[in-house]
Structure 1
Amino acid sequence: MKLFPHQEKALDETYEKNRVAYYLDMGLGKTFVGSEKMWELNTSYNLVICQKSKIDDWKEHFETHYDYKVIVFDQQKITSIPPESVLIINYDKVWRRRELLQLKKFTMMLDESSTIKNESSNRSKFILKLRADNVILLSGTPTGGKYEELWSQLHLLGWSITKKLFMKQFVIQEWDDRNSKFNITGYKNVDRLKEKLKKYGAVFMKTEEVFDLPKVNGQIVKVASTKQYKQFAKDHIIEIGDELLLGDTATSKKLYLRQLASVYNPHKLQYVKDLINSTSDRIIIFYNFKKEYAALVDLIDKPISMVNGDAKDLTAYEQYEDSVTLIQYQAGAMGLNLQKANKIVYFSLTDKSELFEQSKKRTHRIGQERPCFYYYLLTAGSIEWRMLEVLKERKDYTDALFEKEEIK
């Protein structure tokens, strides 16, 4: 398998290490670097933990480029594991497979290792208990800009610093009298943190350090609002057809404001339809909710591909230049190679910074030869404008932030 020079460099820098983290920017080919490192470590048993949407990609990758026996662990019951094998399982199921705790003398690879940023989650606690001899972490956004979420990955790399000491040394916190808790306001000693990470096998690499990719063009499209949005923003309750939208909590109000700005806005749906019909190029559309998917499918008259929690089918994307690919953030913002397209439409915005940043790299990556265009469809006077501001700051637009702004 022929690697790019930057991929060989990452492997050379970590040749003598058996616990490594390849924090390569999205599009730099972490899959190839990680799998080559696994091959170099040469253990008989290997475990790959990834997102559900990436299982088939990893299976195909290993079957194409290596001689491993590939076993998708969430699709079959296993009584014994043959040597020279790779087990593949998704994050949502791994912690339910208690038999993995018995596995010894193996290499573990975590694809998108930022998934274990919450060390108190079932998946993270289980993964931290696994007795892997070797560890490979892969991520383009290991922290999503939040260094406090790095601790679980540090633990796997062998840095046995406590969470309390880590927070004290690298995170700035201020006491919030109103909510009786500490709020994170910034970071300190970041250069020292990165140097320490390098000593523990972490390699950081940005796209601009390696390739001159085509220009990125972002375009904000202002879409007319609706009476329903304005009424709900004022009264926190509205009936639409046979549905009652009741914003009696910050969470529900935020949710319905987002939906009223997207799927319940006929002006936005019409704009998407016109945009799709105005080009013969491939288009990628990111969305959040099942209702949005249903509405988008109804208005599209071209070949459709989709990646969501229920299905992944990229046949139309691969075969038709005028196809439309609908991607739900949670299922497809990470890991997909979609550089055949150069146009992404954000029908609605995610409230997760990491998913937002990852989504933009689906088209702007190695192999892209054309300028990339991002169309952000924002309903006038809606919550979407503030969401985009926060996402550009690489922060999550949380329920707590929404509630705080509502009080103001």
Structure 2
Amino acid sequence: MAWWGTTDVLDAAGRHGLPDGAPSHRLLARPDGEKVTARSTPVRTVPLGQAVPALAAIQPRPGMSASLLTWRAAALIALGGGEAERFEALAESMPAAAHAMVDGDGVWTAYAALTAFAEAVTRTYLAPSTTGERLVDAKDDEADTPDVEATLRPYQRNGVAWLRAIADHGRGALLADDMGLGKTLQAIALIAGRAATDRHRPHVVVCPTSVLGNWARELRRFAPRLGVLRHHGPQRAADVAAFEPGSVVVTSYQVMLRDIELFASVDWDVVVLDEAQQIKNRQSQTAKAARLLPAHVRVALTGTPMENRLSELWSIMDFANPGLLGTHQRFVKRFAEPIELRHDGRVAARLRHTVEPYLLRRLKNDVADDLPAKQESIVSCTLTAEQAKLYRGAVSAALDTGFGAGIARHGRILKLLTQLKQICNHPAQFLGTEGTLRGRSGKLDRVTEMLAEAVAEGSQTLIFTQFRTMGELLARHLGAELGIDEVPFLHGGVSQPAREVMVDRFQGDTAPDPILIVSLKAGGTGLNLTAATNVVHYDRWWNPAVEDQATDRAHRIGQTRPVDVYKLVTGGTLEERIADMLERKRSLTDAVIGTGEDWVTNLDDRQLRKLIELSEMEVA
């Protein structure tokens, strides 16, 4: 719907309790002397799911416009079933200004506007009850995925079938699988399938800045026929013409909020919000902006759909299916208060029944038979502007000085490799400074998001780093961000008795530590840490055998659950290029690869330059 008609539409909407909407322009029929002309007019566009309950809730007051009162009546009639005779009567009294939208060569008639509105309301709120049953049944279907270059596991094919059913019914989805179960791949399969059959509209993925590069790479890897546009940075597109039909636009929450007028004017096919807990606060500007994105299908991805309060679930679900849970005020009275304050099981069951068709959550234990004993994933992270500046400076200084020859060359290359790895880890590690850590490293931001999800789901995680300084920074930062009193760090300076205490606390049955940071050298061998089901390699040793030994602290005899292994790599840097080289060298012996980084020092200057120079596309 569109609000228009006063000099200050935003102020008028606020006074009537209506959603703000997004600024836009539409062709409206306006009086021009004795004739009527179509003119581009400033309006505020509002998704139907937000507009209808707000219109229905308006209390008539003296001085309220006839147009607004007419649409309030239309909302009440439509929500009540929409008898044709009542719309005919309402159409006769509807002011011309209330249906002034130009459609094709003409203006909507009052009756045509009202009946189209009623049909849309019916699809949104009053669909037959069998719709929910069909969506629940779709969770057991297995989709064919010829448009993605990947072999999906059975539970992932179930997820894609369900997402397709959601899309076919014009609804939105909240995919809330455990971390590591492939939410990204399932969303890509949905987009690729729709793009293959209908290339009239673009798609958009909104994600944290730290995973922009990862989304772009995964799209190119699994759906190479899709066009991918990274929308961020000062050179980003300023016009909707850049968003080609059938392509996928990847942007961050910050840029989406900054460019909401542009994004709200695009007819998107699929809108995906990754790490959708970013909109858990319904009153945040980010959440309000996300609800303004027009889409045929809305998909929210998060392993933590609710962290503290039911209102968080309402906010995410209201993005995916506006109006499904009613207004927030009604939701609080109907569900949140009875469940949170009185622990009312019947109300909780009613809420589960309401959201069940639109929410899919599988835990690792649910799909254990589909999972291998060990799953390895490369997690691509994005450089911040600060990291990129330091990275360029280090590379430039090294190339200007030259690497020399012999033992001196060996030492200079190893020094540069260490500097670049530290910069990729965090500027504070490279600079040796104190202060704020958040927002300065794409890698740290990404691992924080991952661990927040892991802690919320109750799983335990090992984090390996080869740098003691980085381990200390991680312990301090994660403790503060995740609300953990103390994140233990096992390194070479820890005494044997203290080391045993750390291991016992992590392996214990009662309130075990959710995270254990381990120095790769101090804890890469000899430890039994089978309580962990997640292993994170924060920085890379660049020797697969050494990393595998570390991973085997969790993936060993005594481990009864699948283990997810995440190797963090900073896109566009030497980390990404060496990771690609190592994947190709996995079948070679250690004698060929060498140990540590020594094999890198044998590269010539041309190969080194190609390895270390920064790809500017990957900078956030």
Q: TM-score, normalised by structure 1?
A: 0.55
Equivalent position SS for 2:263: helix
2:244 corresponding residue in structure 1? 82
1:301 corresponding residue in structure 2? none
Contact 2:325 2:331 (8 Å CA) reproduced: no
2:157 corresponding residue in structure 1? 8
Residue 72 of structure 1 and its aligned partner are, at CA, apart by: 0.9
Contact 2:463 2:515 (8 Å CA) reproduced: no
Equivalent position SS for 2:333: helix
Alpha-carbon separation, structure 2, partners of 1:186 and 1:166: 15
Residue 14 of structure 1 and its aligned partner are, at CA, apart by: 3.8
Indicate whether 1:92 and 2:254 are aligned: yes
Equivalent position SS for 1:118: coil
Which residue of 147, 157, 174 maps to 2:320? 157
> 2:448 corresponds to which letter in structure 1?
A
Radius of gyration: which is bigger? 2
Give unpaired runs (5+ residues) of structure 1.
175-183, 216-284, 298-306, 313-326, 374-408
> 1:203 corresponds to which letter in structure 2?
L
1:223 corresponding residue in structure 2? none
* Residues 100-115 of structure 1 aligned to structure 2 (within 5 Å): 100-115=263-278
Question: Which deviates more from structure 2 when the two are superposed, residues 45-54 or residues 137-146?
Answer: 137-146
> 1:57 corresponds to which letter in structure 2?
N
Contact 2:207 2:252 (8 Å CA) reproduced: yes
> 2:214 corresponds to which letter in structure 1?
D
Contact 1:45 1:85 (8 Å CA) reproduced: yes
> 1:69 corresponds to which letter in structure 2?
G
Indicate whether 1:20 and 2:173 are aligned: yes
1:239 corresponding residue in structure 2? none
**CA offsets 1:210-250 (integer angstroms, 9 cap, x no match):** 227879xxxxxxxxxxxxxxxxxxxxxxxxxxxxxxxxxxx
Alpha-carbon separation, structure 2, partners of 1:294 and 1:135: 42
Indicate whether 1:39 and 2:192 are aligned: yes
Question: Which deviates more from structure 2 when the two are superposed, residues 184-193 or residues 120-129?
Answer: 184-193
> 1:170 corresponds to which letter in structure 2?
F
Residue 50 of structure 1 and its aligned partner are, at CA, apart by: 0.1
Indicate whether 1:347 and 2:475 are aligned: yes
Residue 196 of structure 1 and its aligned partner are, at CA, apart by: 1.6
Which residue of 295, 310, 314 maps to 1:147? 310
Indicate whether 1:334 and 2:480 are aligned: no
1:401 corresponding residue in structure 2? none
1:195 corresponding residue in structure 2? 353
Summarize the Cα distance change of 1:118–1:186 in structure 2 as closer, same or farther, 3 Å threshold.
Answer: farther
Equivalent position SS for 1:172: helix
> 2:205 corresponds to which letter in structure 1?
V
Alpha-carbon separation, structure 2, partners of 1:141 and 1:88: 22
- RMSD of aligned residue pairs (Cα, Å): 4.0
2:122 corresponding residue in structure 1? none
Q: TM-score, normalised by structure 2?
A: 0.38
Residue 153 of structure 1 and its aligned partner are, at CA, apart by: 1.6
Residue 59 of structure 1 and its aligned partner are, at CA, apart by: 0.5
* Residues 47-58 of structure 1 aligned to structure 2 (within 5 Å): 47-58=204-215
Summarize the Cα distance change of 1:72–1:104 in structure 2 as closer, same or farther, 3 Å threshold.
Answer: same
Alpha-carbon separation, structure 1, partners of 2:447 and 2:177: 18
Alpha-carbon separation, structure 2, partners of 1:89 and 1:100: 10
Contact 1:141 1:354 (8 Å CA) reproduced: no
Alpha-carbon separation, structure 2, partners of 1:15 and 1:165: 30
Equivalent position SS for 1:9: helix
Residue 26 of structure 1 and its aligned partner are, at CA, apart by: 0.7
Alpha-carbon separation, structure 2, partners of 1:354 and 1:11: 35
Equivalent position SS for 1:123: helix
Equivalent position SS for 1:108: strand
**CA offsets 1:160-189 (integer angstroms, 9 cap, x no match):** 511112112222389xxxxxxxxx657543
Equivalent position SS for 1:49: strand
2:297 corresponding residue in structure 1? 134
Residue 343 of structure 1 and its aligned partner are, at CA, apart by: 3.7
> 2:439 corresponds to which letter in structure 1?
G
Alpha-carbon separation, structure 2, partners of 1:118 and 1:89: 20
Indicate whether 1:71 and 2:229 are aligned: yes
Indicate whether 1:169 and 2:338 are aligned: no
Equivalent position SS for 1:48: strand
Residue 106 of structure 1 and its aligned partner are, at CA, apart by: 2.0
Alpha-carbon separation, structure 2, partners of 1:169 and 1:41: 37
Summarize the Cα distance change of 1:191–1:372 in structure 2 as closer, same or farther, 3 Å threshold.
Answer: farther
Give unpaired runs (5+ residues) of structure 2.
1-149, 375-421, 455-460, 465-470, 488-513, 517-531, 538-547, 556-620
> 2:360 corresponds to which letter in structure 1?
V
> 1:198 corresponds to which letter in structure 2?
E
> 2:252 corresponds to which letter in structure 1?
N
Alpha-carbon separation, structure 2, partners of 1:168 and 1:140: 26
2:535 corresponding residue in structure 1? 363
Summarize the Cα distance change of 1:55–1:65 in structure 2 as closer, same or farther, 3 Å threshold.
Answer: same
> 1:77 corresponds to which letter in structure 2?
R
The structure where strand makes up a greater share of residues is: 1
Equivalent position SS for 1:129: coil
Alpha-carbon separation, structure 1, partners of 2:515 and 2:194: 29
Summarize the Cα distance change of 1:136–1:331 in structure 2 as closer, same or farther, 3 Å threshold.
Answer: same
- State the number of aligned residues: 264
Contact 2:462 2:515 (8 Å CA) reproduced: no
Alpha-carbon separation, structure 1, partners of 2:462 and 2:211: 22
Residue 122 of structure 1 and its aligned partner are, at CA, apart by: 1.2
Summarize the Cα distance change of 1:147–1:352 in structure 2 as closer, same or farther, 3 Å threshold.
Answer: farther
Indicate whether 1:29 and 2:29 are aligned: no
The structure where helix makes up a greater share of residues is: 2
Residue 8 of structure 1 and its aligned partner are, at CA, apart by: 1.0
> 1:333 corresponds to which letter in structure 2?
T
